Amino acid sequence: MKAVIVCHLENDLRNNFGEAKKIPLEKQTFEHVPKLLNWIGTLKIPITVSVMAGGQVGNRLLLALKEKNVKIPNNINLGIHFHAENFTNSKWQYEKPLELPAYENYYNQFVQSLSIKPKTVVFGKWKVDRQAYPLFAKLGITHDASNILPRGIINPPANINGLITVPGLSYNGQPVNPLTRLSDFLLTKKIISRYHNKNLLLHLAFHSYDFFSPQNPTHWRGIKKIIFTDILSQLKKHNVEIVNLENVNSGKNETLEKMPVPLLGRLFQLIGH
């Protein structure tokens, strides 16, 4: 087994009358971003950080990184995270993909703001837009880490229309995020312990705000750090190599079609965790 870890870098999450949701454009902040990037730098492992552009953030996160001169640690590879939602009926909703000129515009703003040509892409909401692949290939983007397949748990990378697609860890067609559900955490640990000797590529993905309180976007949620470092400890214990997303090849990796969720994980699923 090898592993690739991708962080979707987005805006702060706030709490609105008990429901965690993203705040309107004019009130958005990015206070947690420098803290998270600095912490990732201390981990000394390769992590791809996919910077959000478009949708509810537009180019504001790119500009904030540039204006604040945020230092990017050496173990981080930057990619671009395209969003396409619009503010409709008092909430952000995905309706259709970005137009091709919008993709290219945000790509150019990424390069201008961060002085890096991204080689990797992640689509927001896991809404893959293969119509954009020819443009991405022309721009030098080589990998897409957005695919959540309807079947299987770990699916191998594949070369599709000139891009290498790297499917995320999933269960019953839903993305698995060990930071947001205890059942996902237990499932991830079981996969590592049981299948680390297999020729699998484990793609773990999470959002930057997962580590922070919705009430205070600069306040760490300590339990999330514990969960994440426990996953990293499991990978290290079983000698699972962590690789950069842009270095993944569409080789002959195996597929993990199915496995039972651990008993405790099933219980947490039943209660919504």
pLDDT of residue 74: 97
Q: Domain 2-270 falls in which CATH fold?
A: TIM Barrel (3.20.20)
pLDDT of residue 17: 44
Q: Domain limits of the chain?
A: 2-270
Q: Give dist(CA 204, CA 8) in Å, integer.
A: 11
- Percent of the residues in the chain that have a pLDDT greater than 70, as a whole number: 88
pTM score of the predicted model: 0.92
pLDDT in tens, 138-180: 999 999 999 999 988 999 999 999 999 999 999 889 999 999 9
pLDDT in tens, 50-99: 999 999 899 999 999 999 999 999 999 999 999 998 866 666 778 899 99
